Chain A
Amino acid sequence: MQSKPWRSVFRTALPIKTNLDRSLVMFNSLALHIQPVKVRERAIRFSYTFYLGMISFFLFMVLVVTGILLMLYYQPAIPNAYENMKDLQYVVSSGIFLRNLHRWAAHLMVISVFLHMLRVFFAGAYRPPREFNWVIGVLLLLLTLLLSYTGYLLPYDQLAYWAVTVGSNIVKYVPIIGKNIRFVLLGGNTIGEYTLVRFYVLHCVVLPLFITSLIALHFWRIRKDGGLY
């Protein structure tokens, strides 16, 4: 176990004795260096954050894993989309479990992101120097909602169709450019093949890329703003 290649996995030499050694363990590891070397005690207390941000992040991870698996049986086309969903429920082993996991995690993520925001608000943790992280947070909430909205169309059932009809008609009320935004979003005047593909690409590629980058920025700013408030 103490072979040279094995020890080379960890960039800190044993034994660890001093506080400097302990901090080097953190600095020298890709996985650990996301953590600060020191934290305030109250920052790791459950009753302080309720771990809501981490719960949101965990739910996002669940969504990525289950989402990628769902993608293997899902085609964004009419009538395939709806049939694929039914196959996932009744034909594919564990399909219904994965689908429900994805759906429940999506609902829970909206709730946990929102509660996380409330926690930050009531702790006053949006104050200087953390204003920018609050702004990033607002974007993260928006992206979470947009992911849910675009995902909602994908089963292409009645609920999906009418929810997106109503939602995209709200967009029409944007002054001057509203009708154009709606046309480009739907790829037409009504929901159809193009809409399904557009929402699919937004849901599975564009929005996850944005939210992943912003989550990274969010976490980095927590560290640079001096840890949890």
Chain B
Amino acid sequence: MKLKPNNAADAKENSTKNMTRRQFMGAIGHTASGMAVAGGLVMVYKFLYPNVLLEIPSRFKIASINSLQPGSHVFEPEHRVFAFHDTRGYFFALSAVCTHLGCTVAWKSEGITGHKEGIFLCPCHGSEFTKEGDVIRGPARRHLDRYHMAVDEGQLIVDTSETVNTIEDMILKV
């Protein structure tokens, strides 16, 4: 692969023009191998990325409107979602997945000082959230995921793939 020029400046000037046959074949060979390796890596990455997931559908019925009494809530463990019927007359749904590192938060109806209406407590590293999902205490830094429920033939429907940002958007008045 080594070019043996008479002097270095000459070599620099001629290196593109006067490529030896060996250099040319070498360049083709290395390019081809490089492309094959890159293609292989892309294929392996795609192979590792499953196209069909064995996961539960994101849209599901969490409760029927009539069975969820004011002041009560339900928890759906498969999707890890809470649905509340607030005593002020509206419904809302929150994800139970802690925004710190993903453990399932527990509902503590007795609440704590300043949050008598109840709080969510994460068993893993102690994050606390208000009833509407805002952070009271870290390590979590983001509010719990909020969902706007749909009503279909008297059933409350949650779609975990669609979150909303504000408490107002989350609230469902029926």
Interface residues of A (CB under 8 A from B): 162, 165-166, 169-170, 183-184, 187-190, 192-194
Contacts and interface: CB of A to CB of B under 8 A. Distances in A.
Given A162-B124, A193-B54, A184 B101 contact: no
B102 interface: yes
B53 interface: yes
Interface in B85-131: 100-103, 124
Interface in B49-96: 49-50, 53-55
Contacts of A166: 101-103, 124
Can you list the 10 inter-chain pairs with the closest CB atoms, starting with the nearest?
Answer: A169-B101, A166-B101, A169-B102, A184-B48, A165-B102, A188-B53, A187-B50, A193-B54, A192-B54, A188-B55
Interface residues of B, number: 12
A184 B124 CA distance: 25
Q: Is the interface of A mostly helix, strand, loop or mixed?
A: helix
B102 A192 contact: no
A190 B55 CA distance: 8
Given A162-B124, A166-B124, A183-B49, A188 B54 contact: yes
Given A170-B101, A183-B49, 7 more contacts: A165-B103, A166-B124, A184-B45, A189-B53, A190-B55, A192-B55, A194-B50
A166 B127 CA distance: 14
Contacts of B49: 183-184
